[in-house]
A and B are shown apart, each in its own frame.
Chain A
Amino acid sequence: MTRYKRQDPEITRRKFINVAMGTTAAVGGVSLLSTLGAANPIFRLTANKMPPQAGDILVHAQESKEGQPIRIADLGTQLVRAWPQGKDENGEPVIRKGDPNNILALYRFPKGQIVAPTNLDATIDGETVAYSDICTHAGCSVGDSDINAGEMKCPCHSGQYDPKRGCIVVGGPPPRALAQLPIKLEGDNLVVTGFFLTYPYPYATEAEWESIKKEVEAART
């Protein structure tokens, strides 16, 4: 078939117009696409949006008691939600709830019940332990399980975690355990001693988490 095709040495007018129109459309389309960049606003890491970090104290997140420092006696085998409270640029206390992913889950189990892979050094006396309360699956807040006592259940797609074993996933779709937050007792206050031990939601990779940690460190000094 192609053998008989007329070989036209000159480009025809039709071809020229088609190519010209195609190019214009492509260039125009791409330049319009660039306006999409405006859809994504810039992000500023302010004190209330930073992740919990060394020196923060833990305060109640429950509405009626919000902002009151948590005491060891408030805790038990039922989940207690907490916010980290740090200091802003002027040294005023600020609850870091600008990022709702900072919500924490606190438990206190009788001695000996908390076992590996929980990092026992990061707990208070091997009894009181703090985790990120944000499901690693799609970011819902995780609650106590109504199915298996002593476990946690995410209401969104029924992910399940075991808070006595480092909050590993024991059911459902979450890809990773909830991140553990190292804490200690200082006077009556529960004090954070460092960053989450593993990367928490919403970070998708270790690298992202490392870079946000660096940003926080840089902002602090």
Chain B
Amino acid sequence: MNQWLDERLHISRLNDKFLRKAFPVHHSFFLGEITLFSLIILILTGILLALSYEPSNSLVVNSFDPGSADKPNLIPAAYHSALKINAMPFGDMLRRIHHWTANIMVAAAVIHMMRVYFTGAFKKPREINWWVGMLLLIFTAFTAVTGYALPYDNYAYNTLKVIYSIAASLPWVGEWVSQAAFAGKFPGDGLIPRVYGYHIMLLPGILLALTAAHMLIMIKQKHTQPQYAKRIAYKKIVGVPLMTQQTPIMLALTLVFAGIIVLFSAFIPVHPVEFFGPPSTTPINNIKPDWYLLWVFGVLAIIPSFEIEILGGVINSEFVGAIVVPTLAILAMFAVPMLDRSRDNLYYAENPTNYPVRLGAGVAFMALLIVWSVAGYKPELISAGILSNTNANAVLWIATFLIPALSYFAVQAIVRGIRSLRESDARDRAAFQAADD
């Protein structure tokens, strides 16, 4: 049979080209795989959810609590179907798995990028894949956010409202853009069908295409090799082939990973739609975006209010906080490979401590995002008495500059410490060897 297939599909070529691709043996190389598995689990659970979900925000009678004939209890169909999903066997579990996996996918992607950044794996020839990876990160965030909107409870409603108005805050074109993106003035009748289209068709399509490109480029360019490979066989590719050695490792990883997600989902509820209730005009106290967007939220919380009108376009604090600042941060990440001027192709993952500036800059950048995320908790910090209403903004702004700078210099100091230790080790070894001879 093998031969029959081979004559038609040239399996052996496929085998040579793809299935024998060598995977480096190092745990940090699993992060990308975890991201990929998450995507697969998300698609599978997403399909199951889509089978029972009703993408519409028109009002229907709540079948769980119909009210009276003259005053029926009307709720949006999407919200109603979320309640129904919760009521079906394992329905709530399905939603939780989908939700948890989404969080883990973003987390794994972020850590995967940190690994790539700190070991210099973005350098020539892998710049393109860094950029594809950035796009993946951005579209993953979009997919996650549109997913949030679908249960259409009060939380989703408020989130959507903020997203709509962020889009509308673009000077000149904002109104048109947000109406085109969200099917008319908020909340238009077509709102949920539109977001549903994004979440299950457009964005997953983009994600799959980008993932395919990401992996093809990776197979073409090969992984960076971990340091030990240099000692074993210089300039040779060291690792285990996809077929058959890496596959069982991957399968084991998938199973463990799926098990962890199911455990999480069994014990830690996420997004209880019943608790938030259908969309209403009652604000939700302390509403927060997910952790990976908290930094944008934090910027918005500490940015002072202003509004400038230029030629009929309005530039306000919302536009600067929610669009300009994140765009700058993302551009900085896009620019990472261009800051590197090496001419040679990179074979081996670099030791981060040999590149103190890069290491420091990366840590400072993360520190900045953490400070801003903490700023997202401004109201809580004030309520808890840690900051006061009058000094909160000043303190958080000072931290915005001070903490990244401090972490940069702390990294430099630590790196210097590590180096001097390493050098004295080398001296000792040399002395020892000399004595030995």
Contact = CB atoms under 8 A, between A and B. Distances in A.
A14 B185 CA distance: 49
A133 B281 contact: yes
Contact of A155 (B285, B300, B303): B285
B164 A155 contact: no
A91 B251 CA distance: 68
Contacts of A174: 305, 317
Nearest to A67: B71
B28 interface: no
Contact of A158 (B168, B317, B322, B378): B378
Interface residues of A, number: 42
A41 B183 contact: yes
Contacts of A148: 389
B153 interface: no
Given A137-B318, A155-B286, A175 B161 contact: no
A108 interface: no
Contacts of A201: 165
B305 A140 contact: no
Nearest to A175: B307
B383 A147 contact: yes
B382 A173 contact: no
A204 B379 contact: no
B431 interface: no
Given A158-B301, A172-B301, A40 B165 contact: no
B428 to A, nearest CB: 57
A174 B281 CA distance: 19
Most buried by B among A43, A172, A176: A172
Contacts of A202: 165, 168, 185-186
A147 B382 contact: yes
B360 interface: no
B281 A103 contact: yes
A201 B280 CA distance: 17
B283 A155 contact: yes
Nearest to A169: B305
B176 interface: yes
A153 B161 CA distance: 17
A139 B164 contact: yes
Given A43-B185, A139-B165, A175 B158 contact: no
A174 B174 CA distance: 17
Nearest to B379: A158
A156 B285 CA distance: 8
Interface string A183-221: 000000000000000000110110100000000000000
Contact of B285 (A43, A81, A100, A146): A146
Contacts of A133: 281
A61 B279 CA distance: 13
Interface of A: 36, 39-41, 43, 61, 63, 81, 99-100, 103, 133, 137-143, 146-148, 153-160, 169, 171-176, 201-202, 204-205, 207
22 contacts: A40-B180, A41-B184, A43-B184, A63-B280, A137-B317, A138-B165, A138-B322, A140-B162, A140-B283, A141-B283, A154-B283, A155-B283, A155-B284, A155-B286, A171-B389, A172-B305, A173-B300, A173-B305, A175-B306, A176-B307, A202-B168, A204-B174
Given A63-B280, A173-B300, 18 more contacts: A40-B176, A61-B281, A81-B282, A100-B186, A100-B281, A103-B281, A137-B318, A139-B162, A141-B282, A148-B389, A155-B286, A158-B379, A169-B305, A172-B305, A173-B303, A173-B305, A174-B317, A202-B165
Interface of B: 158, 161-162, 164-166, 168-169, 174-176, 179-181, 183-188, 190, 279-287, 297, 300-301, 303-307, 309, 312, 314, 316-318, 321-322, 378-379, 382-383, 389
